[in-house]
């Protein structure tokens, strides 16, 4: 009986931990420079309340790492400052010269192309590839063998396989068991996942031109599309990254400006395998892991079988 009670208590604790952020309210966009206790710069891009406690989603503007922190442990002024001599105010020059803000401003600038805005290739000279996997809504089972392949490489190399998963909210809602597979693979250090926003609904109409389709559809609420995914990830104790991949890679000037205000950096590709693009060092590879575009999976398997190729986490494409 004691063992039973202990096991029951343990299961309850695990359940509570898994849904630590399942009661999110007041989810708000913001852009607030803050300091840690040791004087390191962070930028809060979201504010929210959970169980009467307040949190920020913050970005390390030098490494692009995101994390959730309680609001009370960050400072609006540099804690190392002598306030009698200097009030510790931020300077915009200081903020805009950080790698994160420089890339945010650069890659949300309209270049006149309806497709593939944002980062398409590593910003630094790299030997290796960056794997990104789109998980759009789908009625089909996910590419199980493909994900098993990534896990098998991780076991062989004794380190998590780095992959950016561009996740849509509707895919999460419709594929709970498969989503849990990804969570378990991350938890057990088989996959090192960067969670990229791929919008809540990923709407697509087969009879509309790109200029009126996907996120550009006239009834789309862009903020809800973005926040819906972020809150789903947080509800599963996952940390949203600062990256977004537009459905269909489609965007216009107005959408890019909206994304800029949300603090997100668009992620494109220069190696969409199903489209016949060939990767090279520093390429951001795109395949679909939702079984909607199997030819891309067929093309990446031989690449994955080449053990001379180095696979890199997405953050190394933007942070030196």
Q: What is the mean pLDDT of residues 205-229?
A: 98
Domain contains 134: yes
The answer on 48 and 32 residing in a single domain is yes
Give yes or no for residue 149 having a pLDDT over 90.
yes
For the record, the structure tokens of 45 come out as 């891009």
The mean predicted confidence, pLDDT, of the chain is 92
The answer on 198 and 285 residing in a single domain is yes
Please report the pLDDT score of residue 23 as a whole number: 87
Domain span including residue 277: 100-317
The number of angstroms, rounded, from the C-alpha of 182 to the middle of its chain's C-alpha atoms is: 14
Please report the pLDDT score of residue 85 as a whole number: 60
Least-confidence region, from 27-41, 69-83, 290-304:
69-83
Domain contains 184: yes
pTM of the model as a whole: 0.92
User: Quick one: which H or E segment has residue 29?
Assistant: strand 24-35
The answer on 182 and 118 residing in a single domain is yes
The answer on 241 and 172 residing in a single domain is yes
Tell me which of 77, 96, 115 is where a domain ends. Answer: 96
Position with higher pLDDT, 23 vs 230: 230
For the record, the structure tokens of 85 come out as 């001599």
Domain contains 12: no
Contact 197, 66 (CB under 8 A): no
Judged on CB neighbours under 10 Å (0-12, 13-18, 19+), 268 is: buried
Q: What is the mean pLDDT of residues 112-121?
A: 94
Q: For residues 161 and 152, give the distance between their C-alpha atoms in angstroms, rounded to a whole number.
A: 9
The answer on 225 and 76 residing in a single domain is no
Please report the pLDDT score of residue 22 as a whole number: 66
Query: Count of domains in the chain?
Result: 2
Q: For residues 9 and 216, give the distance between their C-alpha atoms in angstroms, rounded to a whole number.
A: 48
Q: Measured between alpha carbons, how far apart are the two ends of the chain, in Å? A: 55
The answer on 299 and 184 residing in a single domain is yes
The answer on 181 and 114 residing in a single domain is yes
The CATH number assigned to the domain holding 127 equals 3.20.20.370
The answer on 212 and 71 residing in a single domain is no
The answer on 186 and 50 residing in a single domain is no
The answer on 208 and 142 residing in a single domain is yes
Tell me which of 64, 96, 128 is where a domain ends. Answer: 96
The answer on 119 and 79 residing in a single domain is no
Domain contains 8: no
Tell me which of 62, 96, 130 is where a domain ends. Answer: 96
Q: To which residue do tokens 């959970």 refer?
A: 50
Position with higher pLDDT, 87 vs 232: 232
């Amino acid at each position: 009986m004691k063992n039973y009670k202990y096991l029951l208590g343990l299961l309850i604790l695990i359940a509570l931990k898994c849904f630590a952020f399942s009661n999110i309210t007041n989810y708000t966009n913001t852009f607030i420079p803050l300091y840690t206790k040791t004087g390191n710069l962070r930028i809060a891009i979201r504010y929210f309340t959970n169980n009467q406690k307040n949190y920020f989603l913050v970005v390390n503007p030098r490494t692009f790492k995101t994390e959730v922190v309680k609001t009370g442990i960050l400072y609006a002024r540099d804690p190392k400052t002598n306030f009698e001599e200097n009030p510790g105010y931020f300077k915009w020059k200081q903020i805009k010269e950080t790698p994160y803000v420089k890339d945010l401003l650069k890659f949300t600038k309209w270049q006149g192309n309806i497709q593939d805005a944002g980062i398409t290739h590593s910003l630094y000279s790299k030997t290796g590839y960056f794997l990104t996997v789109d998980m759009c809504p789908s009625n089909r089972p996910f590419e199980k063998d493909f994900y098993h392949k990534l896990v098998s490489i991780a076991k062989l190399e004794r380190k998590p396989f780095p992959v950016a998963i561009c996740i849509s909210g509707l895919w999460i809602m419709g594929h709970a068991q498969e989503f849990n597979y990804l969570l378990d693979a991350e938890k057990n250090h088989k996959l090192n996942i960067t969670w990229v926003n791929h919008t809540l609904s990923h709407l697509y109409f087969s009879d509309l031109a790109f200029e009126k389709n996907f996120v550009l559809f006239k009834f789309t609420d862009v903020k809800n599309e973005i926040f819906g995914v972020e809150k789903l990830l947080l509800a599963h104790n996952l940390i949203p990254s600062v990256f977004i991949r537009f459905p269909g890679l489609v965007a216009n000037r107005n959408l890019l400006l909206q994304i800029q205000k949300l603090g997100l950096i668009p992620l494109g590709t220069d190696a969409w395998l199903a489209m016949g693009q060939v990767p090279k060092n520093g390429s951001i590879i795109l395949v679909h892991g939702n079984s909607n575009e199997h030819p891309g999976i067929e093309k990446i398997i031989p690449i994955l079988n080449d053990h001379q190729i180095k696979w890199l986490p997405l953050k190394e494409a933007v942070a030196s």
